[in-house]
Every structure is written in C-alpha cells, then in structure tokens.
C-alpha cells in the first residue's frame, strides 16, 4: 500500500497548488495541477482495488472506464477526467488563454467526487 499513500500525498499536494494558482488567476496552470491531482487520486484508487496501473494517461482513462463498476466510478467521472485531459493539454500548449472558472469548477467537482470514493 506504499504506492497508495504516495499517490494520495501527491494528489493532495497538487490540489493545494491548484487552489493557490486558481486564487492567483493563473487558470491554465491551475487546471494542469488540478488534472494531475485527479490523476494521482485515480492511481490511488486503482492501487487500493488491486487493479494494474497503466503507463499512459489515455490508458488510465480506458482502465477506469473498463473497471468503473469495480471501482465504483460512474460514467460522468470518467468523461470529466477525459475532458480535463484535453483542457490540461490546451492550457499547457496553447498560446491563447482558453481556461475559465467553469473548467476549474469541473476540476474541484471531479477531485471531490473521487476523494469520496477512496
């Protein structure tokens, strides 16, 4: 369970960074940190349930989708994570600001729902 604790710790730290960046108005950076907070929660959930962890982000989404009943993750959460992956890529690579407060609300909603699953 060491990996579980490490992922949970990384998730909490990334979520704290998300909140600081959000408050500072750095939405693109905030969505990136929020996305990684969610990714680490997902890895913690997989480890806790004895599901092999994938090597890629798209592999993680596929693993969550195919194991959603076992993991007690509903379709909406998996779809939100996929959406946040796209937002993170846009925020990291686009030169035109594209992230707004509703996107950050999606991060918070998804993080909090995953946290309850743990």
Q: Is the pTM of this model over 0.85?
A: yes
| CA separation for the pair 24, 38 (Å, rounded) | 20
Q: Which domains does the chain have, with CATH numbers?
A: 2-117 (1.20.120.330)
Q: What is the pLDDT of residues 21-69, one digit of tens each?
A: 999 999 999 999 999 999 999 999 999 999 999 999 999 999 999 999 9
User: Is residue 33 exposed (0-12), middle (13-18) or buried (19+ Cβ within 10 Å)?
Assistant: buried
| CA separation for the pair 55, 37 (Å, rounded) | 17
| CA separation for the pair 19, 32 (Å, rounded) | 11
| CA separation for the pair 92, 45 (Å, rounded) | 26
């Amino acid at each position: 369970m060491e990996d579980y604790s490490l992922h949970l710790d990384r998730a909490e730290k990334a979520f704290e960074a998300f909140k600081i960046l959000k408050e500072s108005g750095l939405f693109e950076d905030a969505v990136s940190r929020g996305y990684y907070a969610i990714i680490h929660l997902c890895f913690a959930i997989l480890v806790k349930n004895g599901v092999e962890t994938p090597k890629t982000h798209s592999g993680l989404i596929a693993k969550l989708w195919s194991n959603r009943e076992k993991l007690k993750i509903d379709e909406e959460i998996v779809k939100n994570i996929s959406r946040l992956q796209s937002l993170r890529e846009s925020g990291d690579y686009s030169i035109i600001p594209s992230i707004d407060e509703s996107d950050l609300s999606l991060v918070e909603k998804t993080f909090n729902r995953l946290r309850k699953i743990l």
